[in-house]
Amino acid sequence: MTHPAGGAARLSRRVIHGELSQIAGRSWSHALFWLVLALAAGVDVVTFYQVLILVLNVPEELVIVAVAGFAAVALTLAHYTGLQARQAINPRNITGSRTLALLAGGTWLVLGVTAFAVRLVLEPAMNDVGTSQIVIDGVPAQNVGGPSGSGEYLGALLFLALYLATGVVTGLAGYFRQDPAARQYGRAVELRSTAAEKYAHSNRAYAEADQVWKAIQRARDRHDEAMEHMNGQLDAAAGRLRAEAQVVIAQTRAAPLGRARPLGQLYGAAAPDPGETTQRVMPGPGGLPRPREAEPENPPPPGEADGPPRPPRADTDEPEEAQ
């Protein structure tokens, strides 16, 4: 593929033809138009009944069913004739729309002409069956029961006029029917509005959930920071205790066997007074100094330390010697 000099080839923008008024949707007049179509369908039912009752030799219920089907087919053909005619003249012509318009319109016209011919031919014949003539003195006096002049064709002409009128109205309804692209656009707009409402609702719920999650995350961060700070303090305290324990153990091992040292000196307190006497304490289990028993505040006199004098023995008469 070759491109013209001076840059890449630019694709021509396609022009879309259409009525912008159809984008806005259907107006109140559209409902009025459907009311007119319903009245036209009623007219077709009445006129077709008058034709089929002359042809069908069946019970009246079946005639009514045939009349309803006949009217529905005629109105459908007229509607699609106008619809396909609209598509045929559209710049964005749909393939085969002209052929479909001619086929539907021709079938509708043949159906109406056939019904008109049947009524035109059979109605006078049915009227002739009931014709009677009264003769008085050899002179016809009155013709009873038969049509007079051109009056026998008026019913058929009225049927043809009504058939054409209802067909034209139905065809116009199909011709001015909302374009399928416009209907799809309106449906897309409705779906987009519904999706926008759902998105707004879900976005609001997401924003609330996101705020709750952020609050939980902040609380979790504060808890982690507090735990980290507490763990640091505990580690520092454990380090200090470990260091003090190592110092105590080292000083205890370095002290002479059986010689106690003041507790304050072990923990780095001031040295004892040189004049203060120390007591030799026997080592306890594990080499640690044995604790000293507490002395009473007021010791007894030397003579009373041994307690009261013992009584003399019963097996001898000699008094005990003085201690």
Mean of all residue pLDDT scores within the chain: 72
pLDDT, residue 13, reads 52
pLDDT, position 40: 80
Q: Which residues of the chain form beta strands (DSSP E)?
A: 132-136, 139-144
User: Is the model's pLDDT at 63 over the cut of 80?
Assistant: yes
> Is 164 inside a domain boundary?
yes
List the domain range (segments joined by +) for residue 127: 25-131+148-178
For position 1, what pLDDT does the model report? 44
pLDDT in tens, 256-310: 655 555 555 555 545 555 555 445 445 555 555 555 554 555 555 555 545 555 5
Quote the radius of gyration of the chain (alpha carbons, Å). Answer: 63
- pLDDT for residue 316: 47
Which has more pLDDT, 110 or 266?
110
**Would 97 be classed as within a structural domain?**
yes
- Burial classification of residue 173, based on how many CB atoms lie within 10 Å of its CB (0-12 exposed, 13-18 middle, 19 or more buried): buried
- Average pLDDT estimate for 143-172: 73
Residue 138, domain member (yes or no): no
| Domain contains 312 | no
CB 23 within 8 A of CB 185: yes
What is the per-residue pLDDT across 113-126, written as a single tens digit (0 to 9) for each? Answer: 988 888 888 766 55
> Which of 140, 118, 121, 139 lies closest to 131 in space, CA to CA?
140
- What is d(CA 111, CA 115) in angstroms, rounded to the nearest whole number? 6
More confident residue, 221 or 287: 221
Q: How many domains does the chain have?
A: 1
| pLDDT value, residue 149 | 45
Who has greater pLDDT, 168 or 24?
A: 168
User: Beta-carbon neighbour count of residue 170 at 10 Å?
Assistant: 25
Any domain includes 70: yes
Q: Per the structure block, which two tokens stand in for 270?
A: 């001031």
| Prediction pTM value | 0.46
What is the reported pLDDT for 158?
84
Q: Is residue 192 part of a domain?
A: no
- What is the arithmetic mean of pLDDT over 28-34? 71
What is the maximum span of the chain, computed from C-alpha positions, in angstroms?
Answer: 208
- Residue 48 is predicted with a pLDDT of 83
Sequence-separated contacts (24+) of 17-20 with Cβ below 8 Å: 17/90, 17/91, 17/92, 18/179, 18/181, 18/182, 19/179, 19/182
Report which of 129, 128, 96, 111 is spatially closest to residue 47, judged by C-alpha positions. Answer: 111
Q: Answer whether residue 196 is part of any domain.
A: no
What average pLDDT does the segment 80-92 reach?
A: 80
Structural domain includes residue 212:
no
